[in-house]
Amino acid sequence: MKFDAIVLGAGIVGVSVAVHLQRRGRTVALVDRKLPGSETSFGNAGLIQREGVYPYAFPRSARKLLLYARNRGADVRYHASAMPKLAPFLMRYWWHSQRQRHADIARVYATLIEHSVSEHRALAEVAGATGLLRRNGWIKIFRTPAMRDQELRTIEQWHREFGVSYEALDAAGLYALEPHLASGLIGALRYTDADSVSDPQALVRAYARYFESLGGRVFVGDADTLAPQWHVNTREGPVKARSVVVAMGPWSDRISSIFGYNLPLAVKRGYHMHYASDPCTQLSHPVLDAESGFMITPMARGIRLTTGVELGLRDSAKTPVQLAAVEPVARKLFPLGPRLDDEPWMGCRPCTPDMLPIIGPAPRRSGLWFAFGHAHHGLTLGPVTGRLLAEMMTGEETICDPTPFGVERFAL
């Protein structure tokens, strides 16, 4: 079975790459060990963050660092046993998070983020999936004036620099939008340019069905069998192509290292749980409780509670202590019903120390391409990444300058 390209990884990034290549006349085999959207793309808060121009930085203040060092925070926890291995990555992450360096990164990052919503909407339209997108933004709530004022200063800066739109809500405005939230909140920000998704896995699978309708093929296969130039084993037999794209999220370094690319990729682990909701109550927006470190999102399955960051090794056992810590707080914020999942879901966000994804060709290996490292914004940036990489692979004019996302920025 011969194709023009093999895409390894059927999450939102891999599916989007496959779609855009197929639309440009390439024959594409999409290969994954599971069905599309079954791994990291399954478990997230469902946000398409047009406002997310500043990627999530490492805390720099001494107060924050001391707080997190105690390892009791709701938003960030760590595995002490993993710290020796993660320390080099975290030091580089901390370095890139310095204020001016972070601002420089944001100017590059914004060239992708600005197309996030429009590229999703365009793809959802042709895939018949617009019903999965909500166009009413998302909300960050405030319990204290200090947090409110700090976040207002930040969003005003983002508005000046990047044109990010927002709505500042007082308590009355917040409860007009979300009347079933707990009393006592003093206000909120609504990020008006963002979209949200009622079922991220269903969205990825809708994009995958559209890919198949264009003539693309989806295979269950083993990426570890990849060999130049290029072939990989699947249940239906070996698949061959002139080019291969590694879009395997947190597992991408396993393949890149085989071919000599020792990239600084680490993971931020996260958890979610679904809850039934009272038919007499309604949640209309994703709601972030920034001071308590969790988000609740209305999903097709129920209300999804997602946690903050857990720093640990990708394949170590689940430790959902953050979920246990924030669930009582979430129940006070919104009337959650019983748990609907047998156990908490856990996923891993693939992260680079400079907070930028890796998108582009691999030097020294003809036909090898990378598309991974999107951290918290994999769902947000999937379609624009797919378009950018497909344009690069087919020699078209690109939607933005791909140079800052090249793998060459790391010492190889």
Domains detected in the chain: 2-44+116-134+200-263+354-409 (3.50.50.60), 65-87+138-193+266-351 (3.30.9.10)
Q: Which two structure tokens, joined as six digits, stand for 249?
A: 């999220």
Query: Per-10-residue mean pLDDT for the chain, 412 residues long?
Result: 97 98 98 96 96 95 89 91 97 97 98 98 98 98 96 96 97 98 97 98 98 98 95 97 98 95 96 94 96 95 97 96 96 97 97 98 96 98 98 98 97 66
Alpha-carbon separation of residue 89 from 268, 346, 354 (angstroms)? 12, 22, 10
Residue 412: per-residue pLDDT: 63
Question: 230, 367 in Cβ contact below 8 A?
Answer: yes
Query: From the CB of residue 55, how many other CB atoms can be counted at a distance below 10 Å?
Result: 23
Phi then psi for residue 40, to 5 deg, are -60, -35
Beta carbons within 8 Å of 187's beta carbon, 6+ residues apart: 141, 142, 148, 168, 169, 170, 171, 173, 174
Q: What is the pLDDT of residue 72?
A: 85
pLDDT at 64: 87
Long-range CB contacts for residues 123-129, cutoff 8 Å, separation at least 24: 123/16, 123/19, 123/207, 123/210, 123/383, 124/203, 124/206, 124/207, 126/210, 127/206, 127/207, 127/209, 127/210, 128/206, 128/210, 129/202, 129/203, 129/206, 129/207
Beta bridge partners of 351: 266
Distance from C-alpha of 309 to C-alpha of 295, rounded to nearest angstrom: 12
Extract the tokens encoding 184.
């006592």
Write the CA distances from 327 to 140, 144, 279, 288, 293, integer angstroms.
18, 20, 20, 13, 11
In this structure, are residues 202 and 300 in contact, taking their beta carbons and an 8 Å threshold?
yes
Tokens of 20: 């855009």
Q: From CA 380, how far away is CA 375, in angstroms rounded?
A: 10
**CA–CA separation, 187 and 169 (whole Å):** 5
pLDDT for res 83: 96
| Entry pTM | 0.97
- 8 Å CB contact between 297 and 327: no
Residue 367 is classified by DSSP as T
**How far from 220 is each of 31, 34, 55, 131, 239, CA to CA, in Å?**
6, 6, 33, 28, 11
| Whole-number Å distance between alpha carbons of 238 and 299 | 38
Residues in the chain: 412
Phi-psi category of 151—alpha, beta or left, where left has phi over 0 and alpha has psi -120 to 50? alpha
Q: Tell me phi and psi for residue 206, to 5 degrees.
A: -65, -40
